Amino acid sequence: MPELPEVEAARRAVADNCVGKKIKKAIVADDSKVIDGVSPKDFEAALVGKTIVAAHRKGKNMWIELDSPPFPSFQFGMSGAVYIKGVAVTKYKRSAVKDTDEWPSKYSKLFVELADGLEFSFTDKRRFARVRLLENPVSMPPISELGPDALREPMTEDEFCNSLRKKNIGIKALLLDQNFISGIGNWMADEVLYQARIHPLQTASSLSKESCATLLKCIDEVTDFAVEVDADSLRFPIEWLFHFRWGKKPGKVNGKKIDFIKAGGRTTAYVSELQKLTGNQAVKETGKRSKRSTSGKGGSADESGSEDEPTEPKVVKGRKTSSGRNASSKKRYNASVEDTDGDEDEDNNDVPSKSKRGAKKPPAKSKLKGGKNGDSQRQTRGKGGAAKRNHEESDDDLSNSSGNRVEDEEEEA
């Protein structure tokens, strides 16, 4: 799914091209799975005539500040993306809408035309995103429940190390927990653990102070660099695991074999030769594959499709060996890669889940409803005609169990 760098690239594009302009027209999709808690007509009426003041982001959530509330808020989910007509915006590969497609796209969930003629759209091909209309996004779920932003609110070394000492869970599961630190998803977690030479199943509390410091440094480096290049994966250093981790295919990074395991309920790429368990503790992954979906109540939803249901970790014996580190390189990657197309599973839960398990719901149809005219932050299937708005994915979901704070939708690496 789009992670912090991709969402930050979208925020910047909106800030650079739309701030100070009045909304002339809005068209909101009649899709209650994505458009959360408000009718398309009411959503449109709340936008038209308003002026865009700023675009903000925390973790993997973005919201647009208008000259008066309420404000549109976007939880990008698995394939959410921002498009601005005539403007290049970095986006997650699987989110991509072709330039030759109709405009606005049939996958558009919110389309806006500004007074100067500029048009932008938020699309979601797989319908795991959530678009909300909130009076104060910062004080409401899901944003209010997020931990420190990995880019704008970096922890100090002491804060980070002290926090890890209290966490008797696997380090990757902890990195995916958006309440612990927000913005890090599956590819980022794999990358920083590879760079820091830490095994994904290493118990967080068992990490040495040196390993904690190294991990924090790698989080900062990977985040800063990915944001600096606007999440353009072709510009990521060739030494990064990112370029070789997709599709669970046999491969090597820097001459070392890539292995795949489950960590934090997610398919995880790592280099066993370099990322070795240290001390005598590691978590053991257990659990069965399940279906989950949103409860539709505020930010408490686990808006995923298929994933592995995480369970309480068990401590098992590990092998003792030394741990090293590898700082991220600034060397550019010039070869063509399909940067995220191998991300096959839903990677979308940004907040704790509090919903109860429910029954299956039938597929929901989505169509566009016609509209009526009436901060400075740290950088970086069915047959038919074109008028039908059908979805690639069926809405086959169950409400998820309570108490899950980890972003646990499995991503096929």
Q: In this structure, is the dihedral angle defined by the CA atoms of residues 205, 211, 217 and 218, taken in order, positive or negative?
A: negative
Specify whether 3 is catalytic: yes
Q: Which two tokens stand for residue 200?
A: 């994904």
Q: Which of 405, 292, 411, 270 is nearest to 350 (CA)?
A: 405
Structure tokens at 12: 């910047």
Q: Is 141 annotated in the active site?
A: no
Query: At 83, is the secondary structure helix, strand, or coil?
Result: strand
The letter for the amino acid at 311 is T
The answer to whether 14 and 84 are in contact (CB under 8 A) is: yes
d(CA 128, CA 66): 25
C-alpha atoms less than 13 angstroms from C-alpha of 50 in its C-beta half-sphere? 20
Crossing angle between the packed helical segments 209-228 and 186-196, to the nearest 10 degrees: 130
Torsion sign (Cα): 346, 352, 355, 357? positive
Q: Are 383 and 242 in contact (CB under 8 A)?
A: no
Q: Cα–Cα distance between 199 and 177 in angstroms, integer?
A: 17
Q: In what order do the strands lie in the sheet with 130-134?
A: 52-58, 61-66, 71-75, 130-134
Of the residues 24, 33, 58, 60, only one is catalytic, namely: 60
Q: Give how far the C-alpha of residue 166 lies from the chain's centroid of Cα atoms, to the nearest Å.
A: 26
Under DSSP, is residue 210 helix (H, G, I), strand (E, B) or coil? helix
Neighbours of 379 (CB within 10 A): 12
Rounded CA separation 322/335 (Å): 34
Residues annotated catalytic, as ranges: 2-3, 60
